[in-house]
Amino acid sequence: MEIKDHINIATDFSDHPGSRYIEDGAFSGQDFLEKILLPRFEKAVRENYLLEINLDKVYGYPSSFISGSFGKLSIEKGGELLLKHIVLISNDNPLNAEKINREIKNPKK
Amino acid sequence: MRKRTKKERRERYMQARARYEAKRHTKKWKNRKKRKAIRKIKKIRQAKKLPTSIIAPSNFSLIENAEEVLEYFKKANKLLCKGENVELDVSNVKQLTPPTLLLLVASINDHDFTQESIVSGNAPKKPELLKLFTESGFYDHVKTNGKFKSSKENLLNKQVDKIVVSEIVKEASIIGIKHVFNRETPFEPLYEVLLECMSNTNHHADLKHKGKCRWWLYTYNIPNKKITSYSFMDLGVGIFKSAVVKNYLKKYTKGTFLYPNIKLVDDLLSGKIQSRIEKDNEIRGKGIPQIVNNSKRREFKSFYIITNDVIIDLKTGNRKQLKNGLRGTFFYWEIQN
């Protein structure tokens, strides 16, 4: 499958992600999911291509942000489908990609 | 739009005036005015009362001397609840630390602590403690006659509206990263810990008093040392008090000598304590484990949590039941190179 779309979290969303819900404050996981991740992911599934997500140059990935975006999407769409259409790039800290992959595979506690 | 004539404008004014006059004659209006007047008289009477001075413990360190420091605040709170004015005398303290300073400023600004009474106080005599006091930004949050300039090296934040303000988290992170590592690039574990502390406040907030100040954060660069300390306090009800325990026996004995809070520490640190927020409960509970996990890193010199009547040292895993508890939750840690 070919990579046809890219999301750079630091430049397309924010370099300082927030918490879980929109009502908690700015740059929440829910905000990222609804505005960026979900529409781009659905398009990637529809047109059968890979969506590359760059995780670099961000101040940190709080668990509530990851759970509120990738975790929530994994519950809604299924982890397998997510892993099939998403490629995570994390050159600064490979642990970030690992952390998100773990969340996608196992979003529940 | 057609411009109103002078007569129409006058009519509109008279109608508005009549509505206002009618409102002023209602019982609700009169009672409100009466209550306001009573409050004003009470305030004047309260201000005339001489304060009771209570001397702070010589070692005014919340982490090292938690029991005595918390007892001091409890004593002050008891007097304030009785309607007495209190003077917090910290002039002779030999040791004063950033977390205690945060607890002090948060308490003074908390209506549950002060009630309707007046809290006054003084500053430490010891020069280095006085410097910490004035440069911390403490005076920006209390009424004072003097003018004090807070240092740009430190950051004292109070948050009322939003639970999580990632801009403040970023700013506080950069202050510490610059001081400790001499760079501006992210130190992710620090950012994540700070943000999860804020996020956590929502779980343990006092649900009866929405809109009240939610948390305080104090970032302090220790002079002449490559160490930055972070003190974070939320003014909720505390983690254990808000914990949802399913077992009936545990539920009714929680916090008593039959089932003290200290027994819930392992469940808390592993994220097993259920949040009382029902939404998405199956995917919640990863914030505290992330804090615990990050705190194990070498860069975190120390890490403590005080909530209700328990103090936990995350670096060693030691925990202690306190005689005098804390309303809310306190996180304190230091980062080093």
Chain B CB contacts of A14 under 8 Å are 166
Whole-angstrom Cα distance, residue B304 to residue B58? 21
Identify the pLDDT of residue B150. Answer: 67
Q: Which pLDDT band holds residue B249 (cuts at 50, 70, 90)?
A: low
The pLDDT score that the predictor gives to residue B136 is 86
C-alpha A26/C-alpha B304 separation (Å) is 28
Residue B30: pLDDT band (50, 70, 90) is very high
**Nearest chain A Cα to B198, which residue?**
A19
Confidence category of residue B247, pLDDT binned at 50, 70, 90: low
Banded pLDDT at B236 (limits 50, 70, 90): confident
- Per residue, the 3-state secondary structure of B233-265, as one string, reads EECCCCHHHHCECCCHHHHHHECCCCECHHHHH
CB B49 within 8 A of CB B82: no
In A, which residues are within 8 Å of B191 by CB distance? Answer: 16, 59-60, 62
Which pLDDT score, from 0 to 100, does residue B137 have? 82
Q: How far is CA B303 from CA A94, B99, B163, B288, in A?
A: 25, 12, 22, 13
Mode of pairing for the β-strands spanning B52-55 and B86-89: parallel
Higher pLDDT, B212 or B311: B311
**Residue in B160, B58, B57 with CA at minimum distance from that of residue B109:** B160
Region at B243 (left for phi over 0; alpha for psi -120 to 50; beta for the rest): beta
Question: What is the pLDDT, as a whole number, of residue B274?
Answer: 67
Closest by alpha carbon to B109, among B210, B241, B237, B214?
B214
How many C-beta neighbours within 10 Å does residue B13 have?
10
Minimal Cβ distance to B283: which of A24, A61, A67: A67
Prediction pTM value:
0.86
Indicate whether B211 pLDDT > 50.
Answer: no
pLDDT of residue B148: 66
Compute the mean pLDDT over every residue in chain A, rounded to the nearest whole number: 95
Say which residue, B240 or B256, is predicted with more confidence.
B240
B235 touches B266 (CB < 8 A): no
Find the chain B residues whose C-beta atoms sit closer than 8 A to any C-beta of A: 162-167, 169-170, 173, 186, 188-192, 195-196, 198-199, 202, 271, 280, 282-287, 289-290
Mean pLDDT of B306-328: 94
Cβ-defined contact of B164 to A24 (cutoff 8 Å):
yes
Give residue-wise pLDDT tens across range B100-109: 999 999 999 9
- Whether residue A86 has pLDDT greater than 90: yes
A10-61 per-position pLDDT tens digit = 999 999 999 999 988 899 999 999 999 999 999 999 999 999 999 999 999 9
Spell out which residues of chain A touch residue B299, defining contact as CB-CB under 8 Å: none
pLDDT at position B151 over 90: no
Per-residue pLDDT of B15-28, as tens digits, reads 999 999 999 999 99
Residues of A in contact with B162 (CB under 8 A): 24-26
Shortest Cα distance, chain A CAs vs residue B9, angstroms = 43
Calpha distance A15→A35 (Å, rounded): 16
- pLDDT of residue B61 exceeding 90, the answer is yes
ipTM of the complex: 0.95
Chain A residues within 8 A of B214 when measuring between CB atoms: none
Query: Which residue of chain B has the CA closest to A59?
Result: B186
